[in-house]
Structure 1
Amino acid sequence: MFVVDDDPSVLRSLSRMFQLEGYAIEGFDHPRQILERKPGGRPGCVVLDLRMPELNGLELQEEMRRAGWKQPIIFISGHGDVPAAVKAMKAGAVDFLPKPVGMAELLEAVERALARDRAAVASEQELEALRVRFSTLSPREREVCQGVARGLLNKQIAAELGTAEQTVRLQRARAMEKLAVDSVPELVRLLERLGSPS
């Protein structure tokens, strides 16, 4: 978990509070410092001050996204205004809390952010596992899968590919086994999830 605030006393107190709650914390008192760090692989979130020198919170949010940061962001600000809050939320922030922020409210926002990030990481890992399984298919098995996903019958796929229906049946069975799916609807959902790779 990361905290970015240019006020050293706020940074210290937030870091101490999160550590007491059992969170592993990295604190930064300058917005550029977090950009020097590689985006983390473990689930986490970023608690970010809105008003900072050189790079405000909204600009930092944009820079972090460009640098590959995917962790949810919680903004805290003593100067929050509605347009800034709207912009932050549209850009993916989980929450926008006014300073001084209550401990319970902030911890609740952190838990929501961490839950969202855990779900996103799990979804990405699942998608990567699907990509790996899909990569084991032969080019012809992929073509057969695409035909099945388009709603074609085995004989229609065979005619389209210039092969025997029995061959298509075998390739379809082999592909479904490799992809660990038991039905056509499952196969279609898997291909949709992968964005129908070819």
Structure 2
Amino acid sequence: MSATSTGSVYLIDDDSFFLQVHAQLLGSIGLEVHCFGSSRAFLEQYLPRPCECILSDLRMPEMGGLQLQEELLARGLDTPIIFITGHADVATAVEAMRRGAFDYVEKPVHGQQLLDRVNAALALSRERHHERNQRQAREARLALLTAQERKIAQLVVQGRSSREIAELTELSVRTVENHRARLMDKLHVTSVVELVRLLL
């Protein structure tokens, strides 16, 4: 059995017995499990979380797994999805992976295999959430710069000296250096190397 995990799993299947059995399995390692009998019921209640994945049957009435995946993509959501499929649906599951699904498992589902896949999907979800936070923090810092400071920052990153920047922007060297000092302070960077990492 896997060690205790953290995260949310959305379990979607029109088979109530399947939901019950696998909710118990996933809950046994500390996961928060939310069960839904249809894709539409899930979409009506879904709120993205920092560490999550979707475990969905591929074939369901009204809205199947591929349609669910398309709807999430249309909403700009990249929640990792693991599809549960019968042998006859493997080709469809592979197509779902081409469209961005995380993985698929064939029925009958083996407990440890499922736990391993779910934990891997949750790890990816945590990584994506961290990257989004970093990107948003970067964008928030860059938004503090004036248009002139942005231009100077880009020239600094290109390796231009203050004198060269002054000539290109028709500013005095002192003004350029003042802008450089202010933008470095706003961005909370102390060196050109840090500035390059932030802007590239």
Fold-level match, TM-score > 0.5?
A: yes
Whether contact under 8 Å (2:162, 2:176) holds in the other structure is yes
Residue 82 of structure 1 and its aligned partner are, at CA, apart by: 4.2
112-121 vs 153-162, which moves further = 153-162
Q: Percent identity?
A: 40
Q: Determine if the alignment matches structure 1 residue 144 to structure 2 residue 152.
A: yes
- After superposition, where does 1:31-110 map in structure 2 within 5 Å? 31-110=39-118
Which residue matches 1:9? 17
SS of residue matched to 1:25? strand
TM-score by length of 1: 0.89
CA RMSD, Structure 1 to Structure 2 (Å): 1.7
Q: Determine if the alignment matches structure 1 residue 189 to structure 2 residue 197.
A: yes
In structure 2, list runs of 5 or more residues that go unmatched. 1-8
| Count of aligned pairs between the two proteins | 192
SS of residue matched to 2:104? strand
Whether contact under 8 Å (1:4, 1:49) holds in the other structure is yes
SS of residue matched to 1:45? strand
Q: Which AA in structure 1 matches 2:141?
A: R
Q: Using the alignment, how far apart are the partners of 1:34 and 1:69 within structure 2?
A: 14
SS of residue matched to 2:35? strand
Whether contact under 8 Å (1:133, 1:179) holds in the other structure is yes
Q: Which AA in structure 2 matches 1:164?
A: S
TM-score by length of 2: 0.88
Which residue matches 1:128? 136
Whether contact under 8 Å (1:39, 1:69) holds in the other structure is no
Which residue matches 1:196? none
In structure 1, list runs of 5 or more residues that go unmatched. 193-198
Residue 81 of structure 1 and its aligned partner are, at CA, apart by: 3.7
Residue 125 of structure 1 and its aligned partner are, at CA, apart by: 0.8
